[in-house]
Structures are given as C-alpha cells and as structure tokens.
Chain A
C-alpha cells in the first residue's frame, strides 16, 4: 500500500474517531451526573444534522449563500435546538424517572429516540431517502510533498479536536465543571454546597446533546450525505466506545472513540475484502476487550469521573 492511501486511511480513521468520541463523551456525561444511559442519544445526533440541513436550505432559499456564514448559522441552529431537546429530555423523561429502576429510563429514551427517528422519516420531505448535505468547506487539496490532503478534512478534524479540548477545559477548569463533577460524585452533598442540582443536570444534558449534534453535522459535512437512521450506528458505536473506555470517565470516552475507529480502519485495511467486515471486526474486538476488562479500560474507581 502506498503512503497516500495510508494517509487517507489515517485521516478517515481520525475523523471517525473524533465523531465517536464526541458521541461517547455525551454518554459518559449523562451517566456521570445521573447514572443513566440515554438511548435516544444517537437519534438526537440525527436531529442535530437535520436541523443544520434545514437551516442551510432555509438560508439558501433566503438568498444567503456565503458558505462560511451559512456554516456558522447551521452550527448555531443545529447545536442550539439539539441542546434544548437534550435538556427537555432530561427534564421531562429522565429526571421524573429518577427513583424508578434504571431500565425504565433506558426504555423511555429508547422509545423517544425511535419516535424522533420515525418522525423525521415520515414528516421530513421524502425523509426516508438519504439527503445531500451541502459542501461548505473549501475542498482544495493541500500538497505535502507526494501526499495530498483535502482542506475540509483538516478543518473538520481541527474543529472536533478544538471542541473536545474546550469540553475538557469546561469540565476540569470552570465553576460549571466543578459543579458537574460534584453532582457526579455525590448528589446530596452537592446540593448542600448550594448547587442547583436540577439546573446542573439539565445543563449537562444540553451539553452532551450539543456535542452529539456537532458530531452529526461533522458527519454530514464529511460524507456530504445524511439520513434519518444515521444515529443508530453512531449511537451504538458511541455507547460501545464509552463502555470500553470506562463509562463515566472523560478520557475513557475519547480513547474508546478513537480505539473503535482504529479497529474499523485496521479491519478495512488488513482483512481481505475487509471494508465490508470492518464493523464485524471492530465489534468482535470490543466484545473481547469487554470480556477482558469488564469495567472498561480506565476503571472508574481509579480515575476521575466527570
């Protein structure tokens, strides 16, 4: 294999890893503050991508065609609406079930995710067909010696990395992050500190959902296509990444996301006809990892929970 295609695989793998990591961080945040698994997470991601697409179509219809302006407004619309939906899910579906068994939360969010997915399929114009996603970033090739890279890939990678670093800073270095970590460790003592528990939980849900929306939009910009069921696969992979990394652990979620993407890439490259089997290979390795380290690569007891 020549170096150009190795580079292509690397960029592709990094891009996937970043999307998975963004989704996995959401799972880990929700589990951190509330000990719940929110199974609508993948479909919330899809909602973010479709909101951004609608915003783009609306802006084009209104004659606003400037790509960067359009992109900025798409990001704002997708992230804001999805964050709001995330907070509403927290407020009306998850918090009321707080004293019920965790399975009930899992079920109600699973049903909500299905409803969301079906609603987009049925009510979005021709929602069951894949939708072209606008190509808004410059896609000229950057020459690095013999190698060439597309500028849009690099920009998307940089955007994702920046958001992950910013989230890490938010959790680790700000007063809000301090409160989120306190709630994650001990709800009652956090309340005694004067922390508004409900508010922090809802902000966390908004934050996690906004990250998913960003992953969805990056997905659309990278592949130039989205569809109503895109959240299924990304949700399951993000969940697997969070579990493999150690649910509740920020670094674990990032590592898990990139690990899964690396496995897919290796599967696609190393196995003959591998690209059809890359998911089978990646999930098989994840299953083996879970059998080996049942509590995740970074056990929650030893590491800082978000």
Chain B
C-alpha cells in the first residue's frame, strides 16, 4: 500500500534561525522521489520536520488525505511513515532481532511481525545469521542492513531514507540502492535524501534540489541531470 507525501509551504528551523523556507514538494505514491542538496542545505532538517522531531513553524505536511502536521512523532509513524535515519542509528546494545522488532513497534499482530522479519531475512540473509548479535558490534555495512531492515519492519506507506550512502564503501552503496529499488517495486513510496547525485538519479523517478533551505530545482531524473542548478550545486 502506498500513499503520497505532500509538503506545503513548510518553514522550520532551530532557535532563532529558519533552516527551511517555504518548501513545497511531493513524493508521488509508489515512486522514488529524491531530495538532493549539499551539506547544510536543510535536507536532514526536512526529514526531522516531517517526523516532527523539529517542530514546523509554518506549512502543512499530509500523508495521502491525513494532515499530520505537528502530530507527535509516534502518531506520524503509526500513520504509515517510517524512517531510516542518517548515520543508521542502530540500537547498539540491543540484538539484531530486537532492533528489527523495534522497527515494527506499532504493529500489534505478532504473526505480521514474524512474517515481516522473514522478508527482511530474505533480503539480508546475513542478519538471520547474526540475529542474536549486539548491533553495536557489527561492521558499518551490517549496521546499514539492520537500519534498512528496521525501516522495512514498519511496513510503511512512505519510507524516508536519509543519506544511506554516508560512510559506506561504493560496493555497499550500490547494494543498498538496489535494495531501495526493490522496496519501492513492492509499492512503498520512497523519499530519498542524498548527496550522491549520480547513483540517486539512476533510481529516482523524480527529484528536488535543496539549497540554503529552498527548493531551487525539480524535475525527473533526466531533467535534473541536465539542470544547471544541480550542476552548480555539485559539480561547481
């Protein structure tokens, strides 16, 4: 099941300073929508604001028909938005299996949780081998699997992915992007935040470019590849 995520005229920030200014974008149902931007352009703040970890100052965020603006984070998650956070953020002192179960925390049906865990193990057989290992003792690549698997455990309508390539070897990055594509093919709306332009545009259907907290360009992957703003932002 998928649903579109729409962000309308969103302004947000920390303390006195606004980081996001009047941001409008839409992650189409069932597609991969990417958000490109350099360091400090406000990408992570946007993710945080969608989850209400940072409170929006103005604007609206809707999941399909539901207005989720300003709701507590756990209600936003329960409405169908999951997140694979920047830097993976696995629960280091919990086992792989516990991490995965936390991903499905909002799900009351135990058999559904078991079925989802099986699907995660199908994608990452390694996690099955390591299910009783503490996540903190695993390699960066394995932790990335835990983090992605944990996001899938929620069986979300929309999956927010924040910089999955950060700190991973190129081979792992490629693998992860393939997995993201597979997830999307199962009908999950993906909103992918990345700095890695080439890889991202290979799998994204549509994209936005964020610079200094404003959307400065948007278009499908082919358009963005040619776009001057993108060129300016990344290839100087």
Contacts and interface: CB of A to CB of B under 8 A. Distances in A.
Contact of A192 (B73, B93, B94): B73
Interface in B44-76: 51, 53, 72-74
B54 to A, nearest CB: 10
Given A186-B89, A188-B53, A193 B103 contact: yes
B53 A191 contact: yes
Interface string B102-137: 110110000000000000000000000000000000
B23 to A, nearest CB: 20
B91 A195 contact: no
A305 B93 contact: yes
A212 interface: no
Most central of A182, A197, A304 by chain B CB within 10 Å: A182
B74 A196 contact: yes
A186 B77 CA distance: 17
Contacts of A195: 74, 102, 105
A192 B106 contact: no
A194 B92 contact: no
Contacts of B91: 181-182, 185-186, 189
A305 B72 CA distance: 26
A95 to B, nearest CB: 14
Given A192-B73, A192-B83, A194-B154, A185 B106 contact: no
Interface residues of A, number: 19
Interface in B169-219: none
Contacts of B73: 191-192, 194, 197
A44 B85 CA distance: 39
B78 interface: yes
Interface in A174-226: 175, 178-179, 181-182, 185-186, 188-197
B101 interface: yes
Contacts of A189: 85, 89, 91
B142 interface: no
A86 to B, nearest CB: 22
A182 B94 contact: yes
B98 A304 contact: no
Given A191-B53, A193-B102, A194-B106, A181 B77 contact: no
Given A193-B154, A197-B73, 18 more contacts: A181-B98, A182-B91, A182-B94, A185-B92, A185-B94, A188-B89, A189-B85, A190-B102, A191-B53, A191-B74, A192-B82, A192-B83, A193-B102, A193-B103, A193-B150, A194-B78, A194-B105, A197-B74
20 contacts: A175-B101, A178-B105, A181-B93, A182-B94, A185-B94, A186-B89, A188-B53, A188-B85, A189-B85, A191-B51, A191-B74, A192-B83, A193-B103, A193-B105, A194-B105, A195-B74, A195-B102, A196-B72, A197-B74, A305-B93
